[in-house]
Structure 1
């Protein structure tokens, strides 16, 4: 596997540190949450794990955390690409996805993303 280098600069914003490369600002927490969700979905799809509850027991997490993150696998592919490229709306965080329902309809998801961009 080839190493990937991303030039990052940390900037102080309030009490959090955010990484940026001057063009895009990856939300590392959101990207990590998506990665975990897709890994867990793979475990379910291959039969390595029987349920979200089984994953939660193995990971020593509450089952609701696993189920909330698994919803990220329902995102439209173009939205996932947008997030992976660091072009997610700033206020659309992993916490937002954990606290709010996600529509299954991809067009409704795109409209939701657009509404966050308009508020920026």
Structure 2
């Protein structure tokens, strides 16, 4: 016997300035950030599997400037708990994709956590 299962996640979409947010009753997911994060990990997988040889090659293939690819690829260096916080929508409000693109984070995860905790 096959049973179908459904999941319902109550989301509403709202704008915060030029950003689009998916909100539940408790959290706000920055969809722009989530798209950037997913692209970064996808591109990393292309490099890891030797499908693409460099960020510049990815940029050319995607029709983007190489700096965009390189800025987003830095997101793959984030500590797993910071990524989980961003994915769950519980990050500090000012911690946006644009912030990550304009500010370099250290590779050291403890140092990253200290910076993120400074937002609270």
How many residues are matched? 116
Bigger mean CA deviation after superposition, 58-67 or 95-104:
95-104
Q: TM-score, normalised by structure 1?
A: 0.88
Spell out, residue by residue over 1:1-44, the C-alpha distance to the aligned partner (whole angstroms, 9 max, x if none). x9864311234555655331011111111111110000000000
The match for 1:34 among 37, 53, 69 is 37
Alignment match, 2:72: 69
Does 41-50 or 82-91 show the bigger shift? Answer: 82-91
Greater helix share, 1 or 2? 1
Question: 4+ residue stretches of structure 1 with deviation over 6 A?
Answer: none
SS in 1 for 2:105: coil
Partner Cα separation in structure 1 for residue 51 and residue 9 of structure 2: 33
Q: Which runs of 5+ in 1 are unaligned?
A: none
Separation in 2, partners of 1:16, 1:68: 19
Tell which structure's C-alpha radius of gyration is larger: 2
Name the structure, 1 or 2, with higher relative contact order (CA <8 Å, separation 6+). Answer: 1
Over the aligned positions, Cα root-mean-square deviation in angstroms equals 1.9
Structure 2: runs of 5+ lacking an equivalent: none
Q: What TM-score results when the alignment is normalised by the length of structure 2?
A: 0.88
**Counterpart of 1:107?**
110
Greater displacement, 22-31 / 61-70: 22-31
